[in-house]
């Protein structure tokens, strides 16, 4: 093939790819709320356990101004620019996905799109926020199921880095930032390791390097603790500076651990180090040490509900029952989605809550596990997590029960009062092929 025809061919391929990309653009972020909006006659699930059957919800400049029973309140309708009837529909606070890599990875098989981990063992100074990709095509599919906020979290190493909370409709990571650098993520050294894989599990073996890894974690934190006893240093250590908030109480230590011995070790470690705010992430055995967790004021981000038991002798339904077990024990907890194919599976967050409701929780308790509870754990409950006057207007409207996979159908979504576009490339493909085969009938 001549150089001329090779050039023509490459240009043609490039144009085709550019056209494909242009056709599948992520919906543009919504502009700031400029007009007051009133949602009338829907069923409002407040997020704190309360439900208003015939509600009126109004918001101005991104803040909720009215949340009340429509049958008991008198409104001056002239004050509202836009009135939307949501009769027969359900209103919910926007769902919150903690411990997520949404926007940090697009295609697992393509290395260039994976930005959720860095090289190294102790990386507290690595900020996940600056790697967050607002143009991810996965994000609109997640919003379509009501997930409006996420804690963007790094992976890998002993200390993965620092997470931040974002709202899922922004031009760039600066616009998306909701709470920056909320905490540092520590992967607790595992005492045991599983061999094989999920289809063919092997033996459980003792982790030979667990003691060595634990000693390195202790040494690193001791050095950071000593460093942060002084407010000023002539030469700054970026690693230890990033951890200063753990002792000041301005950031949280998220400890990723599942088994009971590891959890006990981690709690003793936190006591020894004098760290003020701690959250357990994973927490498969957390129901066995609830008194210890309550005594030390440690909340739990439960591992994915739709999972197999971690031990062959466990009740096959145990992952489904964990939320109810922690609820009964009085431990603050929330649901998360970390695991295989976690970015796209974030859209299943409301269905995890629905499963928890089928195994011991009430529907409103299950809703709290993806709204108010994660907001409390992440320290943003004064801004969001419930439909209450004064909080930001982060809410969704579904034609049916949003926690049920059969009836979840989001028709409206608002982030800080901005009406978010709920279209995505999956809906485009559905309409495309529906039209094709409908025309052939």
Q: What is the average per-residue pLDDT within 236-248?
A: 93
Q: Can you name the CATH fold of 31-93+385-420?
A: Urease, subunit C; domain 1 (2.30.40)
Domain assignments of the chain as residue spans, ordered by start: 31-93+385-420, 95-383
The Cα 420–Cα 412 span in angstroms is 8
Quote the DSSP letter at residue 30. Answer: P
- Render 366-383 in DSSP notation, one character per residue: HHHTTTHHHHHHHT-TTT
Q: What is the average per-residue pLDDT within 3-29?
A: 56
Q: Using alpha carbons, list the distances in angstroms from residue 37 to 62, 77, 89.
A: 10, 11, 16
Instruction: Determine how many CB atoms are found less than 10 A away from the CB of residue 119.
Output: 8
Displacement of CA 15 from its chain's centroid (Å):
37
By 3-state DSSP, what share of the chain in percent is helix, strand and coil, each rounded to 5?
A: 35, 25, 40
381-414: per-residue pLDDT in tens?
A: 999 999 999 999 999 999 999 999 999 999 999 9
- Residue 13 has phi, psi (to 5 degrees) of -60, -45
Return all residues near 158 (Cβ < 8 A) that are at least 6 apart: 121, 122, 186, 187, 189, 213, 216, 217, 220
User: Among the residues of 339-424, which ranges form H helices?
Assistant: 342-345, 349-358, 363-368, 372-378
Provide the pLDDT confidence category of residue 18 given band limits of 50, 70 and 90: very low
Provide the pLDDT confidence category of residue 47 given band limits of 50, 70 and 90: very high
The Cα 356–Cα 322 span in angstroms is 8
172-182: per-residue pLDDT in tens?
A: 999 999 999 99
75-109: per-residue pLDDT in tens?
A: 888 899 999 999 999 999 999 999 999 999 888 88
Q: Using alpha carbons, list the distances in angstroms from residue 217 to 15, 66, 214, 240.
A: 51, 49, 5, 13
Given a cut of 50, whether residue 20 has pLDDT beyond it is no
- Render 225-271 in DSSP notation, one character per residue: HHHTTSS--SS--HHHHTTHHHHHTSSEEEEEE-SHHHHHHHHHHHH
Q: Which range has highest mean pLDDT (86-100, 184-198, 226-240)?
A: 86-100
Checking DSSP bridges between strand 37-45 and strand 82-85, what pairing results, if any? parallel
User: Do 92 and 120 touch, CB atoms closer than 8 A?
Assistant: no
The Cα 117–Cα 108 span in angstroms is 13
Strand partners, 252: 183
pLDDT at 359: 97
Q: Over the Cα atoms of the chain, what is R_g?
A: 24
Average pLDDT value over all residues in the chain: 91
pLDDT at 342: 84
Q: Can you name the CATH fold of 95-383?
A: TIM Barrel (3.20.20)
The Cα 139–Cα 153 span in angstroms is 15
109-152: per-residue pLDDT in tens?
A: 888 888 888 889 999 999 999 999 999 999 999 999 999 999 99
The Cα 51–Cα 47 span in angstroms is 8
Q: What is the average per-residue pLDDT within 333-355?
A: 92
pLDDT at 21: 43
């Amino acid at each position: 093939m001549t150089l001329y025809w090779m050039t023509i061919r490459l240009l043609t391929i490039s144009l085709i790819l550019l056209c494909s990309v242009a056709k599948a653009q992520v919906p543009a972020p919504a502009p700031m709320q400029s007009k007051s909006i009133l949602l009338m006659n829907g069923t409002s699930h407040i997020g704190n356990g309360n439900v208003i059957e015939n509600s009126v919800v109004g918001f101005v400049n991104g803040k909720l101004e009215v949340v009340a029973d429509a049958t008991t309140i008198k409104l001056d309708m002239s004050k509202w620019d836009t009135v939307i009837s949501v009769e027969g529909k359900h209103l919910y606070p926007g769902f919150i996905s903690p411990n997520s890599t949404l926007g940090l990875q697009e295609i697992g098989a393509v290395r260039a799109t994976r930005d959720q981990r860095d090289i190294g063992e102790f990386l507290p100074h690595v900020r996940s926020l600056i790697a967050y990709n607002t143009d991810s095509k996965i994000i609109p599919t997640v919003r379509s199921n009501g997930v409006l906020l996420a804690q963007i979290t790094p992976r890998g190493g002993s200390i993965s880095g620092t997470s931040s909370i974002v709202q899922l409709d922004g031009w760039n990571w600066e616009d998306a930032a909701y709470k920056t650098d909320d905490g540092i993520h520590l992967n607790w050294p595992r005492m045991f390791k599983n061999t094989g894989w999920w289809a063919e599990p092997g033996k459980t073996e003792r982790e030979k390097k667990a003691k060595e890894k634990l000693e390195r974690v202790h040494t690193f934190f001791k050095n950071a603790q000593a460093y942060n006893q002084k407010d000023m240093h002539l030469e700054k250590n970026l690693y230890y500076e990033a951890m200063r908030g753990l002792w000041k109480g301005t950031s949280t230590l998220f400890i990723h651990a599942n088994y009971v011995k590891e959890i006990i070790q981690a709690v003793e470690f936190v006591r020894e180090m004098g760290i003020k705010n701690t959250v357990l992430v994973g927490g498969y055995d957390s129901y066995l040490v609830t008194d210890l967790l309550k005594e030390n004021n440690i909340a739990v981000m439960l591992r994915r509900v739709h999972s197999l038991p971690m031990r062959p002798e466990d009740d096959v339904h145990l992952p489904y029952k964990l939320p109810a077990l922690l609820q009964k024990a009085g431990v603050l907890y929330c649901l998360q989605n970390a695991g295989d194919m976690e970015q796209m599976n974030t859209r299943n967050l409301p269905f995890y809550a629905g499963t928890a409701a089928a195994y011991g929780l009430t529907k409103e308790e299950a809703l709290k596990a993806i709204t108010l509870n994660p907001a409390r754990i992440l320290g943003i409950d004064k801004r969001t997590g419930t439909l209450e006057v004064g909080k930001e207007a982060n809410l969704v409207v579904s034609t049916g029960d949003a926690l049920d996979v059969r009836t979840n159908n989001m028709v409206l979504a608002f982030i800080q009062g901005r009406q978010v576009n709920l279209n995505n490339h999956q809906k485009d493909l559905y309409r495309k092929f529906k039209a094709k085969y409908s025309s052939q009938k």
